[in-house]
Structure 1
Amino acid sequence: MKKFLLYFITSTVLIANVPERVNNNIEKNSYTQDNSSIYVRDQERAYKRIVSLGEKEGLSKEKIDNEVIRLEKKYGTDYEIIYKHFYYDVKEVSKKEKKNEEIKKINNEKKIEYKKIMKESKLPENIKAYIDNQAQNKYPNDYFQRVKYTEELIEFYNFIKK
């Protein structure tokens, strides 16, 4: 009798829990659907932040899309993660671009200065051509160094001349 009562009570409790477990599964599924819509919304927001950051840094739509595709291949399609990496990549790229622009600006200024030095120097044409050739060979793209080197060569020539 005790065993029968024990079986009866446990089976009743188990059967009584079945609807509760089904309800829990339904709640979990609806919760997952809510989560998925939140996830999609967050992904859309992250993508919009990526685009606005790229535009703010002066990147074209094509560059932004290419960078996003590259990061998708590397990190998957979670745009929150892609945004973090995109942010740091864009900051590094913009720093490098600003540095390159400054270098180009300085280089252009020094190029003008270099031409002025070569015109103002009172050297014979063959010596000017030699100094110009030596400076171009030693520093083909760096006018800052080329100006220094040319000034040194001109001073050296003037020293020898005296």
Structure 2
Amino acid sequence: MKEFLLYFIISTVLIANVPERVNNNIEKNSYTQDNSSIYVRDQERAYKRIVSLGEKEGLSKEKIDNEVARLEKKYGTDYEIIYKHFYYDVKEVSKKDKKNEEIKKINNEKKIEYKKIMKESKLPENIKVYIDSQAQNKYPNDYFQRVKYTEELIEFYNFIKK
């Protein structure tokens, strides 16, 4: 009798839980459908953010697409992740561009200063040509260093001359 009662109670509890488990499965399925539409929406938003960030930083549509394709190969097609990496890559590129602009500006100023030094120096023409060629060979693109080096060579020549 006790066994029968035990079987009865266990089977009743199990049968009572069936609708709850079915409802849970239905809720899970509808939840994943909602999640998939949310995921697609989030991916579209992330892609739009990527494009707007690229345009804001002055990149062309082709460059944006090339960068996204490169990041897709590296990180997969999750645009949320791609956006994060794209954001940092673009920020690094813009920092480098700003540095390059500053360097070009300084180089142009030093270029003018370099020409002024060469004109104002009271050296014979053959020495000027030699100093200029030495400075160009040693620092072909860096006028900041070239000005320093030229000044050192002029001082050295004046020291030897005395």
After TM superposition, the score normalised by the length of structure 1 is: 0.87
The 5 A counterparts of 1:58-137 are 58-137=58-137
| Superposed CA offset, 1:87-110 (max 9, x none) | 222212211111111111111221
CA-CA distance at 1:31 after TM superposition: 0.8
**Partners of 1:64 and 1:8 in 2: CA distance:** 67
Overall identity of the aligned pairs, in %? 96
CA-CA distance at 1:158 after TM superposition: 2.6
Q: Which runs of 5+ in 2 are unaligned?
A: none
| Superposed CA offset, 1:74-98 (max 9, x none) | 2222222222222222212211111
Q: How many residues align?
A: 162
Q: Which 10-residue stretch deviates more, 119-128 or 101-110? A: 119-128
CA-CA distance at 1:24 after TM superposition: 1.6
**Partners of 1:146 and 1:15 in 2: CA distance:** 90
SS at match of 1:59: coil
After TM superposition, the score normalised by the length of structure 2 is: 0.87
CA-CA distance at 1:131 after TM superposition: 0.4
| Superposed CA offset, 1:117-148 (max 9, x none) | 22232322211110011101111111111011
CA-CA distance at 1:28 after TM superposition: 0.7
Q: Which 10-residue stretch deviates more, 10-19 or 36-45? A: 10-19
SS at match of 2:77: coil
